[in-house]
Amino acid sequence: MSLPRGVDWLLRLGLPSDQREPIAGDLEEEYAARARRDGVVRATLTVWWQAVHLALTFRWERTAHGRPLPPIADEARRRFTLLESMIQDTAFAARLLRRQPGFTLVVVLMLALGIGANTAILGVVDAVLWRPLPYPDAPRVMTLAEQRPREGRFFGPVSPADFFDWRRDAQSFSSMAAYDEIAMNLTGTGEPERLRVLRVSRGFLDVLATPPALGRDVRLEEETVGLHHVVLLTDGLWRRRFGADPTVVGRTVTFDGVAYEVVSILPPAFWWRTHPDVVVPLALTDHDRALRAAHFLEVVARLRPGVSELQAREELTVIGARLSQEYPAENRYHSPSIRSIRESLVGDVRTPLLVLLAAVGFVLLIACANVATLLLARAAARQKELSVRRAVGATRGRLVQQMLIESVVASLAGGAVGVLIATWSLSAFRAILPAPFLNLPGIDAMAIDMRVLLAAFGVALATGLAFGIVPALVASDQRLATTLNEESRGGSGGARAQRVRTALVVSELALSLVLLTGAALLIVSFNKLTDVAPGFRADQLVTVRISLPGNRYGDHARVVAFFDQVVERLRSAASIERVATTTSPPFSGPDSRLDLEIEHRTSESPVPVRAHPRLVSPITSRRWGFR
C-alpha cells in the first residue's frame, strides 16, 4: 500500500536527503497498519499530519542546528544507485539480445563452444589433478622406488631384500608397505569369479590411513607363507557377492581352491588405483625375501609427522649408499627414490592435461576476439543511440558499464549453453577415455559439479568482460565515435577504429596459428607412434594370460603337462596358425634380471651387463616375424 498522494512530495521538500527514504518507509509501514485498523481515511489523515509535522520539525532543526550529512548514509545511497543502474542495464541488455536473434545466436554459440570446451576440460583437470586424494592427510603418502640411472630406469620396482632393509632402517616414515597385484579365482559360492587381488605387507592400510570398516588389519606374522590365508574384502565385493552380510567376517572363502579366512571388510572409501576386489597378505618364502636382484615389489610409505619429503629422501639416499657398499654385485649404481603418491599417479598425465587446458583456453580467446569484432561492428551502428544518451547526460563510465553488462549477459547465456555442451562432452570423454586415465584418482567422480559450475560461471564472467571491454571503450570514446560514425556513413573509415579492429584480427590469427601448429604436431607424433616397429609383427597376434592355482599345480611336472596340453589343443584349432608360451609377453612382466659376465673381458664396462630373462617355448623367428 503506497503512501497517499502528496506525502512523498512533502517529505522530499522537508527532510534531509539521507533521512528521506527510511522515514518514508516507516510512514508507509504505519499507513498500511493504520488503514487495516482504523480505515483508509483516518490512516491518510494521520500520515498527512505526521508528514507535515516531520517536514516542519526537520526544517526547524536544520535552520537551528544546520549539520552535514552523516557519511555512512551517503555511501549507502551511492551503492544503491549503482545497483539500481546495473539492474536497469541488465534488463535493457536482455531486451536488446531478444530483439536481434540472429546476432544473439551467433554470439551465444561461439561463446558456448569456447566456454563448454573449457568447462569440460576443467572438469577433468579438477577431478584428476586438483581434488584431494581419498586418503586422510594424502600429501604425506609417498611411493618409493629404485632408480638405476645407468640402465635408464628412474622409478622402477623394488627388490624384496631392499624393501625389508628400508622398512627396518628408515626412520622418516610412520609406516611402509610393499604390494603387488595378482589374480585369483573365487570359487565355492555361486559362479566362480576372477578377482583382482592386491597383496600387501603389514602396514599398507596404515600408509593409506584407511582402517577396515569391520574386523582387523593384516598382521606381521601373516607375511609368512603358510600363515597368510586371510583375506580383506573390499566393500564392493562384500556387497556384490556376500549381500553385505557382516557375519561373513570369521568365515572362510575359497580362492584358487584354498580356504582363506575373511578377517575384515574394507570401508567404501577404500580406493586403490587398480580397483582390487580383495586384499591379502603379501607372504614371501625365505628364498624370495632374500632376493636382491629381482625387482617386483611396489612400495608405499607414510611420512612421519614433521618429516618433509626432502628429509626422507636424504635418509633413503644414505641407506641406499650403505646397501650399495654392502651388496655391490646387486646394488651398485642403485639408489632409492621417492615421490608423492599423487605425483606417481598423475605425473604422466599432468602435462598433457594442462596443455589441453591451455589449448581450449586459446579456443576461448579466439571466440572472444571473434565476438569482440562483432560487437565493434554493432557499436558503429549504435552510435546514434549512444550519442543521444551522452547528450542527455550519460557519463562515459555509465556507457561503458551498460555495454559491459550487455557483453556479460551474452557471455552468461553462452556459459549456460556451454555447461550443457560440457556435460555432454564429459560423458562422451568418459566413453573414449585413454587407458592411462582409467586408473587415475577421481576419474569415476568426474562431473560438472558445484566447483566446476562456479569455475564455468567465473570463466563466462571473465569472458564477457574480456571481449566487451575493447568495444565498450571504443564506442564510448567521443573521438573514436566520430570516426566510427564517419565510417558508418560510408567514408573511408577512421584510422584509429581500423587499428583496433586490425589488432583483434591479428591476435585471432596468431592464436589460431599456435593452435593449428600444436594440432599438426600432435597428429605427426601420433603417426610416428603408430609407425614404431616393435621388433615383431603385432597384427593378428593374440595373448592370453593363464595363472594356475598353486594347490593343484604345485608340482612342476603338472604345470608342464597342463601347458603342453593347452598348446596341443590350440594348435589343432582351425583358426589358429601358431602357438607359443612365455613367462611374460613383450613390453610387460616383472623386472627380474640376470647379471652376465663376459669372458676374457679386460676392463669394466660403464654400464653393468645385465639381461632381463624371458622364458619362451621354442619358436622360429622367421615364421613369427621377428626382425
| Contact set with other proteins (CB under 8 A) | 2-3, 19, 21-26, 28-30, 32, 50, 53-54, 56-58, 61, 65, 67, 70, 72-73, 76, 80
Residue with cell 613383450: 586
Nearer to other proteins, 11 or 122 (CB): 11
What's the angle, vertex CA 270, arms to CA 264 and CA 276, rounded to 5?
Answer: 80
Nearer to other proteins, 25 or 550 (CB): 25
Q: How far is the CB of 70 from other proteins (least distance, A)?
A: 6
C-alpha cell of residue 537: 609383427
Q: How far is the CB of 9 from other proteins (least distance, A)?
A: 15
Nearer to other proteins, 73 or 417 (CB): 73
Q: Which of 260, 255, 256, 235 is nearest to 246 (CA)?
A: 235
Phi-psi region of 340 (alpha: psi -120 to 50; beta: other; left: phi over 0): beta
Q: Which of 545, 543, 547, 544 is nearest to 185 (CA)?
A: 547
* Helix axes 309-326 and 160-169, enclosed angle (nearest 10): 120
Q: How far is the CB of 56 from other proteins (least distance, A)?
A: 8
Q: How far is CA 81 from CA 75, 85, 88, 113, 318, in A?
A: 10, 6, 10, 36, 69
Distance between CA atoms of residues 266 and 578, nearest Å: 45
Nearer to other proteins, 34 or 378 (CB): 34
Q: Name the burial class of residue 385, with classes exposed (0-12), middle (13-18) and buried (19+) by CB atoms within 10 angstroms of its CB.
A: exposed
What's the angle, vertex CA 126, arms to CA 339 and CA 154, rounded to 5?
Answer: 20
- DSSP element (H, E) containing 375: helix 341-381
Q: How far is the CB of 398 from other proteins (least distance, A)?
A: 22
- With a CB cutoff of 8 Å and minimum separation 6, the contacts of 414 are 107, 108, 109, 110, 111, 112, 114, 115, 460, 463
Nearer to other proteins, 54 or 198 (CB): 54
Q: How far is the CB of 44 from other proteins (least distance, A)?
A: 15
C-alpha cell of residue 34: 493504520
Q: How far is the CB of 115 from other proteins (least distance, A)?
A: 32
Alpha-helical regions (H) of 170-234 = 204-208
Q: How far is the CB of 513 from other proteins (least distance, A)?
A: 52
Q: How far is the CB of 80 from other proteins (least distance, A)?
A: 8
Helix and strand totals (H; E) in the chain: 20, 13
Q: How far is the CB of 136 from other proteins (least distance, A)?
A: 41
Nearer to other proteins, 65 or 287 (CB): 65
Q: How far is the CB of 21 from other proteins (least distance, A)?
A: 5
Nearer to other proteins, 65 or 168 (CB): 65
Nearer to other proteins, 5 or 622 (CB): 5
Nearer to other proteins, 69 or 503 (CB): 69
Nearer to other proteins, 65 or 627 (CB): 65
Distance between CA atoms of residues 346 and 354, nearest Å: 12
Q: How far is the CB of 81 from other proteins (least distance, A)?
A: 13
C-alpha cell of residue 621: 623367428
Nearer to other proteins, 2 or 498 (CB): 2
Please give the single-letter amino acid code of residue 161: A
Q: Is 302 helix (H, G, I), strand (E, B) or coil?
A: strand
